[in-house]
Amino acid sequence: MKSFLAGCGLIALVAAAPALADVKAGVEAWMAGDFPKAIAEWRGPAAAGEPDAQFNLGQAYKLGRGVPMDAAVAMDWYRKAASAGHEQAQATLGLQLFQSGQRDEAMIWLKKAADQGEPRAQYVVGTAYFNGDSLPKDWARAYALMTRAKAAGIGAATTSLTQMDQLIPEQQRQAGMALAREMERTAQLRASDVPGPGAPLTMRNSRTPQPVGQVAVPPSAAPVAPPASTEVAQVQPWKAPTTTKTPVTPPAVPVAATAKPAPPRPAPKPAAPIVAAARGGWKIQLGAFSGSGAAQNAWSSLSAKAGLTALSPTYTPVGNLTRLQAGPLASRAAANQACAAVKATAGTACFPVAP
């Protein structure tokens, strides 16, 4: 389960499980202004490893509501939620580390969030790929991520793309646009993965609240805003918030003025085989394609590269697209391992799907 920052602080999904019921009760208390009660409701699930509760506690410590303001404790809770795959925690943690100058570690978390479609992270990671700063230079991927960040409304991405158009060869820009379309299709599929009535809620990736089972905290909670609309050719120093309600924004990252074409990347080594589970209904989702033939061709290539030949593919029509998934896998950890192999060997999007 995940919480979503949609420009107004905390949003939680609700399910029947006791831990998630406590998360819901905490959000309701937070909405009512009873911050100590919200903290009390979240502590148990957070200690048990529930990432929504962990992220919400991080927000509370960051704002100093119901608990003393403590940036170090907030970072600790963000880190726990991020380690569990919580997209907003990964982005928030990465941006905080980036602002404090810990760019190498920041890029680890920002890249994870960017892979899940978080636009602020896509902007920063795209610039890092362009400059070869903390990440290997990859102009096609930089162009793709910056295109997706612009589509999500990150103002500074428009300026970055204008500069990239002048520096990146057309062939690499076309490759970047193709990758951006693949990212968009994956984001559309994630948004469509809404469980039916009575089904357990799974990870739902959307920037706006959904009508089913969500509770939003009012705008009194501090939002995390996208990067400021500044010229990316200039480094803008980050300034500490003047109040606890000021949004935290990542600094603009410079695009190199005298960039050189990226050297060709070495061919990835084949991944170790992924073992299918005799039991367990976890799957991995590998993208959306224009038809079943395209999805089958993609599976033939991906399964060989990423060592997925022991898994069974499924092809599901979704509108005018075909969703490609593969399984079964025993657990989320096994699904994450399979996705890591896909990303390392094929560089394509992948995310776990719960049974």
CATH of the domain at 329: 3.30.70.1070
pLDDT for res 266? 56
3 state SS of 30? helix
Burial of 248 (0-12, 13-18, 19+ CB in 10 A): middle
Residue 96 lies in a domain: no
Confidence of residue 56 (pLDDT cuts 50, 70, 90): very high
Residue 328 lies in a domain: yes
**β-pairing, 11-13 with 282-289?**
unpaired
Model-wide pTM > 0.75: no
Residue 300 lies in a domain: yes
Residue 30 lies in a domain: no
pLDDT for res 211? 22
Confidence of residue 116 (pLDDT cuts 50, 70, 90): confident
Mean pLDDT of 105-129: 92
What percent of the chain has a predicted confidence (pLDDT) above 90? 34
Residue 348 lies in a domain: yes
pLDDT for res 201? 27
Residue 304 lies in a domain: yes
pLDDT for res 139? 95
Of the ranges 8-12, 291-295, 309-313, which one carries the lowest mean pLDDT score?
Answer: 8-12
Mean pLDDT of 223-228: 30
Query: Using an 8 Å Cβ cutoff, are 142 and 149 in contact?
Result: no
pLDDT for res 112? 92
**Residue 347 is part of which domain span?**
282-353
CA angle 96, 101, 105 (to 5 degrees): 70
pLDDT for res 19? 66
**Residue 130 vs residues 58, 169, 183, 253, 354: alpha-carbon distances, Å:** 32, 13, 18, 11, 34
Q: What is the spatial distance between Cα 218 and Cα 52, in angstroms, rounded to a whole number? A: 17
Residue 102 lies in a domain: no
Count how many domains the chain has. Answer: 1
